[in-house]
Structure 1
Amino acid sequence: MSFERFSGPVWSLFRIVVGLLFLCHGAAGVLGVFGGHRGSGHAIEFGTWPNWWAALIQLVGGALVLTGLLTRPAALLSSGSMAYAYFVVHQPEGLLPLNNGGVTAALYAWALLTIAVLGAGPWSVDALIEARRTGVHRSPAPAGA
């Protein structure tokens, strides 16, 4: 049995889940929902550097990645913000992510970079826009959108 036919839908589902989880982190920080920033029950004070801005990137970038709209630039910016978080906040506390609390930041950085490189997949607004523009539906391979 070949699993190749599932690659496009599974890739799209991966992007959707990563985008949703990233959006939830941003909503917690910017809006104070889902327990607020780091479980404080509160939003981050407006404009506070870098936390509020990082949360805004998470909220907007997560929404864009979730829907598959402007996926590559949104995922690239989001990946960069997580790399910044890892190297500036976590890495000085210890070499390995398991020791410095940076596992989540490292995973988001790599997952979002992968999405930026491979694209949104077939179940995305980007794919719909491309299909309308060209009149051609692309292959459901991960790099198709």
Structure 2
Amino acid sequence: MTGRLNSAQPYALGLFRIVVGLLFTCHGASSLFGVLGGQTVETGAWPNWYAAVIELVGGSLVLLGLATRAAAFISSGAMAYAYFKVHQPEALWPIQNSGEGAAMFCWAMFLLIFTGSGAFGLDRLFAKRSSARREPAAEQTPVAV
């Protein structure tokens, strides 16, 4: 059973990344454009507008699996900031300060920093292409005369 679960790990991780990226993107789009029942934030307003931009761009990159680790790093940091500067001063526990979303996104993105995109990501596609380009060059060794 463990072998089957281990072989499915990249696919489960890829699906996890897609769902987290989609939800994060929706959160940013909701704040920036007022879609999905959200209210728009004023352009340039600190920190809400910047957080929304990070959510939209970072979430989109994570969703696509493109520059996943870098996007997840910035997104995780933004959510840690949101939790400790916005939510935590209200109360200690996330359930008391309405910070569950920020905490969950922070830790989900933190995990993606270390795991990468998993299956179905553009990172993997580009890595395969670049390694395929390098292989023929490595095969062309000079012939001694």
Q: 1:70 aligns with which of 67, 71, 82?
A: 67
Aligned-residue Cα RMSD (Å) equals 1.2
* Residues in 2 aligned to 1:24 and 1:117: alpha-carbon distance in whole angstroms: 23
1:73-113 deviation per Cα after TM superposition (whole angstroms, max 9, x unaligned): 10000000000000001111111111111111001000001
Aligned twin of 2:110 = 113
Q: Which residues of structure 1 form unaligned runs of 5+?
A: 38-42, 137-145
Q: Which runs of 4+ in 1 moved over 4 A?
A: none
* Residues in 2 aligned to 1:84 and 1:110: alpha-carbon distance in whole angstroms: 12
TM score, norm. by length of structure 1 = 0.87
Larger radius of gyration: 2
Deviation at 1:117, TM superposition (A): 1.3
1:23-42 deviation per Cα after TM superposition (whole angstroms, max 9, x unaligned): 000000111100123xxxxx
TM score, norm. by length of structure 2 = 0.87
Q: Which amino acid aligns with 2:47?
A: P
Q: Which residues of structure 2 form unaligned runs of 5+?
A: 134-145
Aligned twin of 2:120 = 123
Deviation at 1:46, TM superposition (A): 1.1
